[in-house]
Every structure is written in C-alpha cells, then in structure tokens.
Chain A
C-alpha cells in the first residue's frame, strides 16, 4: 500500500510539473482531483467535529431543545443561493458579524496604540532614531492631502527609500519562500527514488 501510494504521489507530482512544459490533460486531471478530494475530506470532518457534538449531541442526547433556535438560524444559511429567499441568510451572517464590535477596540489597541507607543520611545541610539525617521516619513508619503513638494516632498522621498528597502527585504524573503516550496517537492522526489533504488 505504501508503494502504491508513493507511485501515485510521484505521478501526481510529475503531472503538475508537466505544466512547466505546457498545459496538458494530466495536469488538468490533478487540478480537478484536488478540489474534489479536499472538499470530500472536509465533509466527515465537519460532521464529526462540529455537527455531532454541537448539534446532534445537544438535541438528541441531552434533549436541550433551546438549541433548536441556533439550528434554525444555521439552516437559514442555506437560503444563500435561493433567488427569492436569499435575504433569509442575512440573519445568521449578521449574528456572526456581531463580534466585529470587539474588533474595533482591540484592533485599535494592538495595531495602532501599541505600535504608536513603540514608535515614541526615547531616541537613545542611532538605530532608534532611524526607525523613528522611517516611520514618520513613510506616513508622510501616504498623506495625500498635501502636495509632495519642497521640504515636505524631500521628507516623503526619504519615506520612499525606506519603503524600497522594506520591499527589497520582502522580495528577498519571497525568493526564499518560493525556492523552499520547490525544494520540498524535489526533496520528496529524490528521497522516494533513492528509496526505490535501495
């Protein structure tokens, strides 16, 4: 079974790689297969990990019939594709959106206040000064209500330089990421072939 599995995995890997030469039926077969298998995997998982404990258990085993209310709202999700009753699905969506309220204060805290506080620490070292300068000038650059000319324009230009270094860093890391993914697949092929030969 392990060997059959390996042969399938190698075939599918090569089928996808064949796209580099040109689009072909083997590639398309794999492409369509992955969609079905992925969704098919989800179905029993949702049933077992959520539907059973959160719905069936409560109503049929514990007889807590109050939970028929959320079940009712849950079923309303299914009207999403109905032309006439599509609006019913807005109710459960609205309930799920409620937590956005907590997000307002908490994102303000984590993404803005804490970061602003970190940008305001005493400029004790040259590096902290450079970070301070960069943060301010990048923000200048994104402030479009004033023309980027004169001294202001010079400042926002420093911001561009900072951003270019930042994007360069991101690009360097992206190269690393993409190569890593390829390494993973080639490592698999190399190890499998090595195993077969041995």
Chain B
C-alpha cells in the first residue's frame, strides 16, 4: 500500500530517466523483430513500383526478367512528385520514410521530383537525396541530378495553389526552374521523356506533420484525378482513415512504424530486383531474409533507422502502458480508501 502511495508521488524526473533508459538500451543492443506490413503502406509501395521500367519495359531477349539494359532502354513516361512539408522537428519520423521512398525510386529507376514551400524543408530534401545517392554511387552507378531526379526545391508559399493547379497542365511552366536555377525544360528528365503533367506524374507523395496532404486531395485529385499518397507523423495518422477508405488517398506511411514497413518492403523486393507480391511476404526467400537482418551490416544503418527505432518503440510503449496501469491502480486504491473514510 505504501509502495503504491510512494509511486503516486514519484518525482517526474524519475519518469524521465525510466523513459530515456528504456529507449537507449534497445538502440545500443539492436535485435531483429518482426516488421509486418499494413495495406496502406503496401498500396503505396505497389503504386510506385508499377511505374518502374522493371515492371513496364518489354522483355526484349525473352528471358523472363527485365535486365538493367532493358530497363535503361525503356522510354520512361512515369514519375512521382514528392512534396516535403515539415521542418527538422519531425525528421525522426518522416526522414526515414522519405529516404525509403527515394531509395525505392532510385533502385527501380522511377524518376522523381522534389518540392517544398517551406524554407526549412529545402535542406531536408538535399539531405535525403545525398543519403540515398551517396550509397548507390558506391556500387558504381552514377546518379545524375536532372536526369534521375529533379529537385525543384523551395518556392514561396503564395505559389502553393497556383503551382499545384498549374502542374495539371505543364510542370515546366508551373515551376520554371529547379533549385540550382536550371530551367526545367532543359533537364534530361523532362526534355528526353514524356513527363509533362499529372497524367504522367500520377502520384504525389506528401510528407508532413499536418493535414497538408488534404490540399492535394482537394485540388489536384478532384480536378486532375491524380493519386495522392501521404507520409504522416503518427499524430495525424488516425484522421487519415476516411480518405483512405474513400480512395482519395491511395496509400499512407504513418510514423516510424510506416517508415519501418516501407524500409522492409524496399529491402525485400526492390533490393532483390523483385516485383511486390503479397504471397512472398508470407514466404520470403533466403535472399530476402538476409536483407532484413538489421543486426548485421548487410543493410547500411541509414536505411534501417526506422526499424532500429521500432525496437526502442516497443520497449517504450510497454513502459508507458505499465505507467498507465500503475497510475490507475494507485488512483483506485486511493479512491477506495477515501470511500472508507467517509
């Protein structure tokens, strides 16, 4: 009884220490835990993957798989558009998913645009691009700015809606220049392909800690029918379900968990040059499993940040649930005692 009473009056700084320790331990000693994927994340992954030349190109030599040469030869006419709408404060949640999506795009040769109306998000885009491209360049493949992706970068907020709607017609006319000052129409990704507007750029992936993705659903989706996918902080995730069910939002990565799921899918499928199939999720091959081992060095740390974090998340959630239960036990015991005294 006294123990419970003492617990009730526990100084909050002890709670702080408990939480810190619960999070640090799993980070120092990583372990493999099961990352099961959910439908909104799978849908997003599948949609992006469906734009890949590895799925769409013709199998010229008829060997049943699309080789790298065949993929490069394919005239690309699909791209995705990534809108970054957050500052560094929500980066621990959103950055791993941005990296995972970009990594997916680069490996599967899906061209992408990056864009933001927040000054503070501009460096996040650069950071994400360099994290992904640096690693891939180590394998010998050269990633060219303007050819594999176009970083439109920052544009003033007053232009958000005008650009959003203008891209229904022509992206080069709507944004004019990329962040390095090059005109979009001179960049190979625009000049040498058929990518012009939402018809080709048929997925907008919006990462934010607010309901900003709604703007894309209200304006771009209802007018041009573009697919909208969102990457959200977990705080906003529950509010997204009505849009997921109505199909206005095609897919979602929510919080660190969503990021971990996407990382997993990239390592299972894209890294093994495989096309997503639900059946394979339940029966992964050995090559897939090797890529999922986060305790080994197979996957560079920056591509498993979310999965490493989810271990700590597990422990912290359990601790908070224990806190809630202990707090309530104390509350009921005290209430019982008060009733007795009356």
Contact = CB atoms under 8 A, between A and B. Distances in A.
Interface stretch (A24-32, A80-88, A98-106, A146-154): A98-106
Contacts of A72: none
Contacts, number: 143
A41 B154 CA distance: 12
Interface residues of B, number: 61
Nearest to B259: A180
A183 B153 contact: no
B119 A38 contact: yes
Contact of B222 (A109, A173, A175, A187): A109
B93 interface: yes
B342 interface: no
B165 A179 contact: no
A110 interface: yes
Contacts of A20: 13, 16
A182 B317 CA distance: 13
A45 B122 contact: yes
B309 interface: yes
Per DSSP, are chain A's interface residues mostly helix, strand or loop, or mixed? helix
A180 B256 contact: yes
Interface stretch (B134-142, B188-196, B240-248, B332-340): B240-248
B113 to A, nearest CB: 14
Interface in A157-198: 166, 169-170, 173-177, 179-187, 190-191, 194
Given A50-B156, A179-B23, A183-B92, A174 B235 contact: yes
11 contacts: A41-B119, A45-B122, A49-B155, A50-B156, A102-B161, A110-B221, A180-B234, A183-B309, A185-B92, A187-B92, A187-B308
Interface of B: 13, 16, 19-20, 23-24, 27-28, 87, 89-93, 119-120, 122-123, 153-156, 158-159, 161-162, 165, 176-177, 179, 181, 214, 217-219, 221-223, 233-235, 237-239, 242, 245-246, 248, 254-257, 301, 305, 308-309, 312-313, 316-317, 320
Given A52-B181, A179-B320, A187-B27, 5 more contacts: A41-B119, A49-B154, A107-B218, A177-B233, A177-B255
